[in-house]
Structure 1
Amino acid sequence: METTTFAATEGFPHTALVGVTGPEQTLAVQGDPHAALALASVSKPISAWGVLVAVERGLVDLDDPAGPEGSTLLNLLDHTSGLPFEGEQPQAAPGTRRIYSNAGFDALGAHVSEAVGAPFAEWMAREVTGPLGMRDIDVTGRPSAGYRASIDDLMRFGREVLRPALIPVELRDLALMVSRQGLRGVVPGYGAFDDNQWGLGFELKGTKSPHWLSDTMPPETAGHFGGQGSFLFIDRSRDLAAAFLSGVAFGEEHKRIWPPLTEEIVARYA
């Protein structure tokens, strides 16, 4: 593993922890790899993995009714349940709009918790973060946005997404492909897009611009960013995953450095 400094983070006025991994091992780290910071919405793809483990075990099904009337587990995972960002009052019929929803992911946690007979945090620790060796992570917060983790944790999770061991590769592929093409929706902080592409718990780059990923990243690049200045991306075309943590509210400085940083990561380690 290389200890390095990324040029794109120079002048960034906050903590800038960065990690890059291939499918077998961490390739590079900037900063303390075990410092646990708030993930905010980068919690969502990790929570989604816990849901998919339950799907693989036959404890829940993607077609299970979950969330508002007419919604399914799949709708909650791909942000088409109709639930708003926060709150319980649906804003649209299921499957008709891409409404980014913390409430939907918290409903996912509740659904899986009931099905497995254990708190969702316990399920996550026993079936996801423990087996992956994610030692610094805290999953006791909201499934939507309440976890804390380190770069080391995110590298371990990134390797799992690149070479899944907890779920079949076919289920991983389903999670990272577009679920429902052509739905309009908002990416918080970046605006509305006519084709706001998401998989199951993962945003897909598609043709969105401006975006937190570099415009040179392939449309199928999957990942998430969080409101506490965090991101995780998976570039299967290059067999790379990378993460960023800052522990401060997402703002213009993050928007400034993230596209060149993601481009620098690919240029150096692809």
Structure 2
Amino acid sequence: MDLARVLEPMSHWPVNTVSAGVIAGEEQASIGDPDTQFELASVTKLLSAYGVLMAIEEGIFDLESPLGPEGSTVRHLLSHASGVGFHSRELEKPVGQRRIYSSAGFEILAEAIEQEAEMSFAEYLRLGVFEPLQMNSTHLWGSAGHEARSTVHDLLRFSREVLKPTLLAQESVDTALSIHFPELKGIVPGYGMQNPCPWGLGFEIKGEKKKHWTAPGMPAETVGHFGMAGTFLWLVPAKGWAVVALTDRDFGDWAKPLWAETNTEVYQALGEYSASTQTRAE
């Protein structure tokens, strides 16, 4: 089985342009042009979170450092538990009471890093993450929460880094992919209230969420993010799998059932591909 066939359902999406990629262990494949640059929207948060984790390892601050509203920490901001709104830095709920999805929280983190590193957060990401991973077509051009551009080629490189870290300690990545403040409920944009609403440090965690952009049959430990630009990236670290999908059509009603259906097919096909390669190896 050709690994690229795993992505075949995406070629039928109702979009003008789609580029997608898949990792299965040491193998990878793509459809569309893997070097076409797309807006990432909130998939940006995964890249920014990696930069924040790097700042933690470099001693700029730690997860328990106070930052943001009174009572909030770096951990709260990274896991959408600080109480600030999507755009507004004003409290919508008390710190630690509700999972409020926020780009403003990532902007607070980015500004704190800028002050200590004496460079823009975009430059910090470029030097610390993008250049070492040879993500030469990836650029943070605005908000650390939702304004970066990238390609499937680059995001597959990033996905491999998350699966087998070279820039960060494995412990740091494991912490990022673990649930923080597990009791919190909250809204996943476009999909409504989830109780609970598990999240890691920047990385959304599927858990037992219903009506989700991943597939119902995918494991609870699936992590990743989707963006309102019609983009998503998910990983199942225990299996060494990752899938990236970038489009030029904003997320909307077209995507809700289709992404879940597509991810069901992709996940099942990945299982079949992995089983077939294992059989050949034996």
Deviations 1:139-194 (A, max 9, x none): 12211000000001110010000001111111101100110112110000000011
Q: Distance in 1 between matches of 2:11 and 2:236?
A: 20
2:276 match = none
Q: Does the CA contact (< 8 Å) of 1:9 and 1:257 recur in 2?
A: no
Q: Does the CA contact (< 8 Å) of 1:83 and 1:103 recur in 2?
A: yes
1:13 aligns with 2:15: yes
Overall identity of the aligned pairs, in %: 39
Which amino acid letter does the alignment assign opposite residue 87 of structure 2? E
- 117-126 vs 244-253, which deviates more? 244-253
Which amino acid letter does the alignment assign opposite residue 94 of structure 1? V
Q: What is the Cα deviation at residue 233 of structure 1?
A: 0.4
Q: What is the Cα deviation at residue 13 of structure 1?
A: 3.4
1:62 match = 63
Q: Distance in 2 between matches of 1:12 and 1:251?
A: 12
1:155 match = 156
What root-mean-square deviation, in Å, do the aligned CA atoms of Structure 1 and Structure 2 show?
Answer: 1.5
Which amino acid letter does the alignment assign opposite residue 14 of structure 2? F
Q: Alignment length, in residue pairs?
A: 269
Q: 1:116 and 1:23, CA in 2 relative to 1: closer, same or farther beyond 3 A?
A: farther
2:138 match = 137
- 120-129 vs 250-259, which deviates more? 250-259
Q: Residue 6 of structure 1 aligns to a residue in which SS?
A: helix
Q: Does the CA contact (< 8 Å) of 2:42 and 2:145 recur in 1?
A: yes
1:185 aligns with 2:169: no
- 174-183 vs 256-265, which deviates more? 256-265
Q: Does the CA contact (< 8 Å) of 2:10 and 2:18 recur in 1?
A: no
Aligned 1:45-194 pairs, distance under 5 A: 45-194=46-195
Q: Distance in 2 between matches of 1:113 and 1:248?
A: 33
1:206 match = 207
Q: Residue 83 of structure 1 aligns to a residue in which SS?
A: coil
Q: Residue 61 of structure 2 aligns to a residue in which SS?
A: coil
Q: Distance in 1 between matches of 2:72 and 2:25?
A: 35
2:280 match = none
Q: Which runs of 5+ in 2 are unaligned?
A: 272-282
Q: Does the CA contact (< 8 Å) of 1:23 and 1:159 recur in 2?
A: no
Q: Does the CA contact (< 8 Å) of 1:9 and 1:261 recur in 2?
A: no
1:22 match = 24
- 256-265 vs 176-185, which deviates more? 256-265
Which amino acid letter does the alignment assign opposite residue 10 of structure 1? H
Q: TM-score, normalised by structure 1?
A: 0.95
Q: Distance in 2 between matches of 1:64 and 1:186?
A: 26
Which amino acid letter does the alignment assign opposite residue 99 of structure 1? I
Which amino acid letter does the alignment assign opposite residue 42 of structure 2? S
2:40 match = 39
Which amino acid letter does the alignment assign opposite residue 17 of structure 1? S
Q: Does the CA contact (< 8 Å) of 1:64 and 1:72 recur in 2?
A: yes
1:197 match = 198
Q: Does the CA contact (< 8 Å) of 1:228 and 1:248 recur in 2?
A: yes
Which amino acid letter does the alignment assign opposite residue 14 of structure 1? N
Q: Does the CA contact (< 8 Å) of 1:8 and 1:257 recur in 2?
A: no
Q: Does the CA contact (< 8 Å) of 2:15 and 2:247 recur in 1?
A: no
Q: Does the CA contact (< 8 Å) of 2:180 and 2:200 recur in 1?
A: yes
Q: Residue 108 of structure 2 aligns to a residue in which SS?
A: helix
Q: Residue 71 of structure 1 aligns to a residue in which SS?
A: coil
Q: What is the Cα deviation at residue 268 of structure 1?
A: 2.5
1:234 match = 235
Q: Residue 183 of structure 1 aligns to a residue in which SS?
A: coil
Q: What is the Cα deviation at residue 209 of structure 1?
A: 1.2
